[in-house]
Amino acid sequence: MAYGKYEGVIGLEVHAHLLTKSKIFCGSSAEFGAEPNSHTCPTCMGLPGALPVLNKKVVDFAIKAGLATGCRVNKKSIFARKNYYYPDLPKGYQISQYEEPICTDGHVDVFQNGGKKRIGLTRIHMEEDAGKLVHEGTIETSTYSLVDFNRSSVPLIEIVSEPDMRTPEEAILYLKMLRDILMYLEICDGNMEEGSFRCDANVSVRKIGDPNLGTRAELKNLNSFRSIERALDHEIRRQIEVVEGGGEVVQETRLYSVPEDITYSMRGKEEAHDYRYFPDPDLVPLLIDEGWVEEIRAGLPELPIEKVERFMNQYGLPRYDSEVLTSERALADYFEETVALFGEAKMVSNWIMSELMRELKTGNVSPKAAPMRPVQLAELLTLVKDGVISGKIGKEIFPEVYAQGISPKRFIQEKGLVQISDEGALSEAVERVIAQNQKEVAEFKAGKEKLLGFFVGQVMKETKGKGNPKLVNELLLARLKGQ
């Protein structure tokens, strides 16, 4: 999207739920979707005298995220209290990190216009989530509120970017890449509907070339890529209008309404000092030694951007294929396992991107759980490549073979779909077709050679689509030109 002589300046704050079994400061389960208030204990309910104990796994995951985004992992970090009152926050403060976060100064690279763009990360810090208020109907009309503390103290990392994005499209590229990275690391499930990956945006506008930043507004409650892109576009246009009209953008927090497709003011934007941050006296400073960091570094998987480049180099795939196949770690693994068995990377890529991905999408299934395994896909592709079945039949039987998870070889034998490559049988069909179409034969011989396609079609009809197309062509040509 272009904004004339203006550009947007976008910085994003992403909150990602970490996939630990228990919460960040107590032993309660962090699992999503349980009966309200069944995953609670005195600590995450904020009862007097209950003390927090840091979950080591949360630190492991935060270090992982930091290393995968080129951050410095700080040897010492501090937990701080962010003070505010809300009914879903029984302690009256949220335990977060403020002045000394665990990770600082990283980056995320995204592919853009055939090259790469680097988006800076200011920091990554650990914090606890708040509980959740549940209203009957909408918050405006409900006559009561219920509170569910299951989410209270579920571990989060907040990833704060530099204001390095200029358009909503860039913001989406960044968010998708960041989400892929966290999912590759297996520290976040990336589920935006359930709120495990959510985003607030700081947006301002300025004239292109102006080195100064304008006053920013914060957008909250962005929970799908589509709504983020639309909200950002809207907000940038709104601010340009304000500036063009001689007005001033106000620092405030705005909400995006999906049904109305507008942003509206929620409250004046609070400043950090409003929260009266101070180090939490219940938690000692977190000290991380080099050995801990190196142990985690050694276990890091190949990251999405590295995989895209490797797929292009190692398999000779176009960038588009490489990006699609690596969009999910399990899909990339599926591809590589199939290539290891079958060989031809581009053919595997084509079948995965069209046939397999359609089935996965229809059934909302992860590649890991697909009933058709790489060994069966490789078998199917071998049948096509060897001419046992045509590519067309391969695609026709794909949904059924996929759903049943059976051997394609057995499937085509049982259904009698094996391609006819027997010269004798095909010659008989060719003879029948020639005998029945004497007029076309004469025309062909008179020079109308494009009729070959007609004859091939007739022979395929005779063989119920099972004739080996290459052989049918050869036999027809020999017969038609030979006489």
**Contact assessment for residue 94 and residue 32, using Cβ atoms and an 8 Å cutoff:** no
Q: Alpha-carbon distance 184 to 329, whole Å?
A: 6
Burial class (CB in 10 A: 0-12, 13-18, 19+), 387: middle
Q: Residue 151 or residue 179: which is nearer to Zn ion going by CB? A: 151
Q: Alpha-carbon distance 388 to 377, whole Å?
A: 15
Q: Which residues of 340-353 are buried (b: 16+ CB within 10 A; e: fewer)?
A: ebbeebebbbebbb
Q: Residue 41 or residue 283: which is nearer to Zn ion going by CB? A: 41
What token pair was written down for 246?
């001689």
Q: At what angle do helices 423-436 and 469-482 cross, to 10 degrees?
A: 50
Q: Residue 90 or residue 469: which is nearer to Zn ion going by CB? A: 90
Q: Residue 43 or residue 161: which is nearer to Zn ion going by CB? A: 43
Smallest separation (angstroms) from Zn ion to the CB of 289: 28
Q: Residue 28 or residue 161: which is nearer to Zn ion going by CB? A: 28
Smallest separation (angstroms) from Zn ion to the CB of 40: 6
Q: Residue 11 or residue 52: which is nearer to Zn ion going by CB? A: 52
Smallest separation (angstroms) from Zn ion to the CB of 43: 5
Q: Alpha-carbon distance 384 to 358, whole Å?
A: 19
CA-nearest of 216, 270, 266, 211 to 243 is: 216
Q: Is the dihedral of CA 303, 304, 309, 315 positive or negative?
A: positive
Residue 54 interacting with Zn ion (CB under 5 A) = no
Out of 3, 31, 32, 41, point to the residue binding Zn ion (CB under 5 A). 41
**Contact assessment for residue 381 and residue 348, using Cβ atoms and an 8 Å cutoff:** yes
List, in sequence order, the alpha helices (H) in 270-356: 290-298, 304-315, 319-325, 329-342, 345-351
**Contact assessment for residue 376 and residue 348, using Cβ atoms and an 8 Å cutoff:** no
At a CB cut-off of 8 Å and minimum separation 6, what does 241 contact?
none
Q: Residue 26 or residue 378: which is nearer to Zn ion going by CB? A: 26
Strand order in the sheet with 252-257: 72-73, 103-112, 115-128, 155-161, 6-17, 197-207, 217-222, 252-257, 262-268
**Contact assessment for residue 79 and residue 39, using Cβ atoms and an 8 Å cutoff:** no
Smallest separation (angstroms) from Zn ion to the CB of 30: 9
Site for Zn ion in 10-39 (CB under 5 A): 26, 28
Q: Residue 131 or residue 168: which is nearer to Zn ion going by CB? A: 131
Q: Residue 41 or residue 288: which is nearer to Zn ion going by CB? A: 41
Q: Residue 45 or residue 266: which is nearer to Zn ion going by CB? A: 45
Smallest separation (angstroms) from Zn ion to the CB of 152: 8
How many residues belong to the site for Zn ion (CB under 5 A)?
5
Applying CB under 5 A, which part among 41-49, 84-92, 373-381, 405-413 lies near Zn ion? 41-49
Smallest separation (angstroms) from Zn ion to the CB of 153: 6
Out of 10, 14, 44, 460, point to the residue binding Zn ion (CB under 5 A). 44
Question: CB count, 10 Å around CB of 362?
Answer: 11
Smallest separation (angstroms) from Zn ion to the CB of 53: 10
Smallest separation (angstroms) from Zn ion to the CB of 57: 15
Smallest separation (angstroms) from Zn ion to the CB of 97: 20
What token pair was written down for 403?
């759903």
Smallest separation (angstroms) from Zn ion to the CB of 90: 11
Q: Which residue has the tokens 């030109």?
A: 481
Q: Which residue has the tokens 């292109």?
A: 208
- Which residues of this protein are in contact with Zn ion, per CB under 5 A? 26, 28, 41, 43-44
